[in-house]
Structure 1
Amino acid sequence: MYQQDQKQVVIRRADRPGDLGWVVMAHGEAYDQQFGWNTDFEVLVATIVADYGTKHDPAREAGWIAEVNGRRVGCVFLVAGDRPEVAKLRILLVTPEGRGLRLGTHLVEKCITFAREAGYEQVTLWTNDVLTTARKIYRSFGFTLADEERHHSYGHALVGQNWTLDLRTGATDSDS
């Protein structure tokens, strides 16, 4: 917990009733308002959250909620990847109400710290090129663009990107 601009900011585990439902709703609303994405995106987020909620391993996977003055304004999850040494950073979001407080940076830092402590060697993530602020955060931690591919999803033509952070040689904290 910390104070910033007369606001009480807390980043905590996503373990309270309503947290998982809020993550789905907040993503659906925020991405519709900002990018005009349809409910296909909300379904993707719901699937990620449902998988996490029903079968996550607390020693290897975690989710966090950012709150400002007791209201949820952000989230991120770290889940196991396809290989035991690889984790995936998923569904980073900071709502307009929480922006400008460096919450995205703090949430990604929580993921990377947890990934190191859980023994992962690499963290990967998938995003889209229109998410410029998130990509700046990822870059600041040492993530590098592995590949990208055009796709049509959520009602739009997009460019999906895969990013990778090697924890054996990656940055230990944010440069920003």
Structure 2
Amino acid sequence: MLAVTHAQSDLINQVRSASRLMVRELGFMQATLAATDYSPSFVHTIVEIGDRGSLTAGELVELLGLEKSTVSRMVRKLIEAGEIEEIPHEEDARSKKLRLTVRGKKTLRAIDSFARQQVDAALVYLTNEQQQAVSEGIANYASALQAHRLGTAPQPPAQLDIARGYRPGIIGRMVQMHADYYARHSNFGQPFESLVASDMAELMGRLHNPRNEVWVALDGERIVGSIAIDGEGEGGEAILRCFILDDSARGKGAGKRLLAEAMKFCDEQGFCATRLWTFKGLDVARKLYEDFGFKLEQEQEGQQWGATVIEQCFVRPGPVAGPLNGVGDTHPPIDLA
């Protein structure tokens, strides 16, 4: 056994202390979790099945690190409660898969909403750098704990795929990601969601123009991020739109990769400039924009989103930039990150 130095001992104690505090603050000491009537293991079962679409009982055993008998009893109770259901396994007639019912999906939405609000409230107390460190640190530590339990080497986070062009479901997912994030960040509601839905649908209807394009970040087949270029702006400008990431995609470099694809497209098309509208206070997104050459050009108060905000216009000159148009649109096509 390797000797543990004083520095290592202090580090271990710090990690243990932080882990205990997290367990308490996240509510795992309580009989139920995430404002449900279910215990933590039941909540995790609903979340894992929902995230993956369907799972076998055996896969749940490995994911949750529980005994087969414990998982079997838990699955039976969730089936009886109407949260999950058994469906035939497409590759093994002797096996069954588990998926969420309509009720289960409703429960999952409530769990996700509670958890997002809990995390979002805590992140307010951290700087942008601290938020990134927390995201990466927790992911690495969790991966190491799992690797130790399974006796395997830690697996790096799965790389998200970036795909170009329209695909079924893209409009709905873009709207959902915008609505979820900005309801929490800016208290936007139905007016904002409806406006985004209208704008996204209109833009997707113009993708036949080669000057317009959209990209998505994919986790398997699930869309977890998007960005689009509207190449029909005034004076030969492009407008960057639909830039958004699902919470599950943050901290994985997807935003930078999406923006890189969009900027490469803009340069290839020879737009004189690329313009984007966003809101003041989205500091992580602003730094990313500025890293790609965008500069703040204008700020103005906007109220058409359901709440009063400070809108910001950023502009990135093209490869051969000409005179830029003035900004006078009081209802800009918003593109949010």
Same fold judged by TM-score > 0.5? yes
What secondary structure sits across from 2:270 in the alignment?
A: coil
Aligned-residue identity in percent: 29
Q: CA deviation at 1:84?
A: 4.6
**Alignment equivalent of 1:123, drawn from 265, 274, 277:** 274
Q: What are the residue-to-residue correspondences of 1:143-158 with 2, within 5 Å?
A: 143-158=294-309
Per-residue deviation, 1:104:
1.1
Per the alignment, do residues 131 and 81 of structure 1 end up closer, same or farther by CA in structure 2, a change over 3 Å counting? farther
Q: Which amino acid aligns with 2:316?
A: L
Greater relative contact order (Cα < 8 A, sep 6+): 1
| 2:210 equivalent to 1:59 | yes
Report SS of the residue matched to 2:192. Answer: helix
In structure 2, list runs of 5 or more residues that go unmatched. 1-154, 322-337
Letter in 2 for 1:114: F
Q: Is the 8 A contact 1:59 1:118 kept in 2?
A: no
Paired residue secondary structure (1:7): coil
Task: Please point out which of 188, 194, 209 is paired with 1:43.
Answer: 194
Instruction: Name 2:151's counterpart in structure 1.
Output: none
Q: Is 18-27 or 141-150 further displaced after alignment?
A: 18-27
Task: Supply the RMSD in Å over aligned alpha carbons.
Answer: 1.9
Task: Report the TM-score, using the length of structure 2 for normalisation.
Answer: 0.47
Residue deviations 1:58-88 (CA, integer Å, cap 9, x gap): 4101011101243211101100243252000
Structure number having the greater strand percentage: 1
Distance between the aligned counterparts of 2:250 and 2:166, measured in 1?
A: 23
Structure 1 or 2, whichever has the larger Rg, is: 2
How many aligned positions are there? 167
1:22 alignment counterpart:
173
Q: Which residue of structure 1 lines up, in the alignment, with residue 251 of structure 2?
A: 100
Q: Does the 8 A contact of 2:183 with 2:189 survive in 1? A: yes
Correspondence for 1:7: 158
Structure 1, unaligned stretches of length 5 or more? 171-176
* 1:78 equivalent in structure 2: 229
1:103 and 1:38 map into 2 onto residues whose CA distance is 26
Cα deviation, 1:26-58, whole Å, max 9, x if unaligned, reads: 211221133321122212221221111222344
161, 171, 175: which is aligned to 2:312?
161
CA distance in 2, matches of 1:84, 1:146: 17
1:24·1:46 contact (CA, 8 Å) conserved in 2?
yes
Cα distance in 2 for residues equivalent to 1:92 and 1:29: 14
